Structures are given as C-alpha cells and as structure tokens.
Amino acid sequence: MGEAGVGVVPPAGALPPTSALPTTGAGPLALWPARATIDLDAISNNVRALRERVGGAELMAVVKADAYGHGLVPSARAALAGGACALGVAQPSEALALRAAGVDAPVLTWLVAPGTDLVPLVEAGVEVAASAPWALEALADAAVATGRPAVTQLKVDTGLGRNGAFCLPVSTDPRTDWSDLVDLAARLESDGAVRTRGVFTHFAYADAPTHATVQGQQDVFADAVRLAEKAGLDLEVRHMSNSAATLTSRSATWDMVRPGLAVFGLSPVPDLGASADYGLRPAMRVTARAALAKRVPAGQGISYGHTYLTPGATTVVDVPLGYADGVPRHASGAGPVQIHGRRFTVAGRVCMDQFLVDVGDLHVEAGDEVVLFGAGDDGEPTAQDWADAAGTISYEIVTRFGPRVPRVYVGGQR
Ligand SMILES: *Cc1c(COP(=O)(O)O)cnc(C)c1O
C-alpha cells in the first residue's frame, strides 16, 4: 500500500499544548487529576553548573523524548537561557518541532533512517548526523533540492557498538567504515554540497568511569578525529560526553559536552553521587489529587490479585495515576509517595489508571495532594527512588509520563 493512502495522525496527546495551560487557578488544568510541575530555573541552573564543571566548554543540551518528559520547547529555551549553545535530539520530527516553535539555536538530530525526507531539515538549517555513506548521499541530494548546503556532524562508533561508523585504533586497522565515511564527507564538502561541522561519539560505560572502555573510546576518538582532519575536514566541534562523562571524565570534554539527564537535574551515576553532590536540582515534580480515601477492615485485599492485604482496619487512598500515565507496574508494592509530609508505599498492584496507598490512621481526604516525586527537599521521594523501587533508571521514570499528565511550568522567563 502506498503511503498516500495512509492516514497520518500526529503523535500529539489528548491535551492542548501544555504551554497554553494556565499554571494556577481552575481552567483546563482542572480536568486532569495529576500534573508534572517543571522548574525551568532548575534546568537553566543545571546547565550553568555543568558548564562550570567542564571549564566553560560548550554544551549541547539533549532534549530528545520531549526533553526527557519535561516538555520539548520550554525545556529547550530554559537550557539555552542557562548557556547551552546547541540542542541535540534523536528524531528529525523533534528538531522540526523546535524550529516550528521559533527556536533558532543550532540543532543536531542523529537518528535518521533511510527514506526520511531530509529536505525540510536542510531548509530549517537542522544539522543531520551521518553514520554511513547513504546518509551523506541523501544530504547531498537534499542540498541540491533546496539550493542550500546541508550541514552534518559525523557519528563515529568508538566502541559502544550502536549508531555510528565503526572505527578501530589506527594501529589496529587504518581502513575502516569511518575512513570511508570521512573520505566521502571531504569529497561532498569540496563539491559544496555538505558541510561537516563536527564529529562525535557516545560512551558505553560512562557511568563506570574507571572501566577500561572509557579511556579506550577516548583513544579511538582521537584517532577518528585525526583521520577526519587528515581527510581535509575542518572541524568546529568534537564531542563525546553524555551526562555521566560530563560529571566524571573531564578528559573526554574536547570542545563540547552533550548531556541530557543531568540537564534535568538527575544523577546518571546514583551509586557515585546524588544530584546535589553535582550541584544539580531535579526539575520535575509529579503530584496527583487523591481520587478517594476510605476506611476498610483488616484482611482486605487491595487491587488486582490482592497481593496486598490490610494488616488492620485502615484508610486506603486511591491515586489516579497508573501505568498508562507512566507509573511503572514494576513499582507495584514498592513505589514511594508522600502524603501530608509522610512517606508511604504503593499497596498492591499498579493498575492502568490508578494505584492505592495504605495510610493507616492518617487523616486523608479525597482531593488531598499525593506527591510521587520531586527534588527531595521536603522529604518527598525522588525520581531516583522510583527507579530503585521499579528496578530501572531515573531516565525511564521521567520519560514515561504521558499526555494525561499535563506539564505545568514554573520559573524561567515566560
Ligand atoms: C541520549 C543521548 C545523549 C544524552 O545522554 P545522557 O546520558 O542523558 O546525558 C547524548 N548523546 C547521544 C548520542 C544520546 O543518544
């Protein structure tokens, strides 16, 4: 079936653009029982703290996946206000969404599959990463179609074994996919079709800074940069470091760092240090209004499968957030919440739209605030606590919140 016959539904949620939602009062927000409050000043300050850490090197803020769930455009603007000089996204549609919102900072998109229409990207001045010759050829075609040169950054695989043209230490093998890619890039640049502005790579073990691959990948990257320059490419930016490397491997800084998670104030290395240890502040706070609070007798099974039995007569609180909203089902019986300043744990299974909490004899009423996580200042759980409870990483906790959880922005210049 041809694409023309396929109805295209944009992946917008059921909500109006969150930027259109008021931050206080009734209005549209009153329709949703939960919200994620995003502290834009925290994002700006985190960028500032990260830049200080790398001696003022340039910083590309990674805002893929709706800015790790924090909202693409407001988060991008907050990162730029904090001193980011560029934005990085995975998918082309994310780059175009930034441009459509009027964000004109340099944007790099690095996950482009064959068949992607590169014309609107080149027209919008979006840099498209190339990991293979076909991507450079497609960029050259788009340059012809638009009448303006395409701009790329070449992705080299120095050992992650994921995206990027494979490169080995020159002493092992000087002719690799990478050397073919840089030769083609140099040819297309001299034709005036594709400008190669930078080269970059990504670590496999940045969260284990003493792992041998962390130095090994830096050595291969140095060889890859030399090969690119020898081929005639005049590189403006060379970058390796994600959040973990930005925080723990200074030697990997080169011209620019490329953090995502740390921009949003979460630690990518919770075993080595918490957010505050790195001068970072979590930017997302998720809260809900209790949908119901009721007394139940001892021995009552709670939620599907009755995996939790009330130990005595108690008050059970129904929280209107479930796995469809991003609360991991793996956090059944384990996820932490705070109600009236006290910590409780999810009782029984997380359902699609709701979960339960046994608050004992604490006086709780429907409508009272339930805090899932926040910055942790007031004893509330953090996204890291939820990650620990669900056996995952904080990245997954914040990126999963869906369209039924409106993002509300505080701070920043709005
Ligand atoms: C996601 C991503 C980053 C950011 O990673 P964090 O660990 O969130 O800092 C940087 N570079 C690439 C290529 C990525 O895919």
Return the residue whose CA atom lies nearest to atom 1 of ligand 1: 260
Instruction: Show the ligand 1 pocket: residues with CB < 6 angstroms.
Output: 62, 64, 110, 202, 242-244, 258-262, 268
Higher pLDDT, 151 or 1: 151
Calculate how far, in angstroms, residue 262's C-alpha sits from the geometric centre of ligand 1. 10
3-state helix, strand, coil in the chain (%, to 5): 35, 20, 45
Please write the tens of the pLDDT for every residue from 222-233.
999 999 999 999
Active site residue 294: no
Report the DSSP pairing between strands 336-339 and 301-302. Answer: unpaired
Q: Is the pLDDT of residue 201 over 80?
A: yes
Return the residue whose CA atom lies nearest to atom 10 of ligand 1: 242
Specify the length of the chain in residues. 414
Q: Which amino acid is at 79?
A: A
How far is CA 68 from its chain centroid?
Answer: 3
CATH assignment, 40-268: 3.20.20.10
Calculate how far, in angstroms, residue 259's C-alpha sits from the geometric centre of ligand 1. 6
Q: What is the pTM of this model?
A: 0.94
Higher pLDDT, 1 or 355: 355
Burial of 243 (0-12, 13-18, 19+ CB in 10 A): buried
Report the atom number in ligand 1 closest to the C-alpha of 242. 9
Please write the tens of the pLDDT for every residue from 86-108.
999 999 999 999 999 999 999 99
Q: Is the pLDDT of residue 194 over 50?
A: yes
Catalytic residue, chosen from 68, 205, 304, 308, is 304
Residue 345 contacts residue 336 (beta carbons within 8 Å): yes
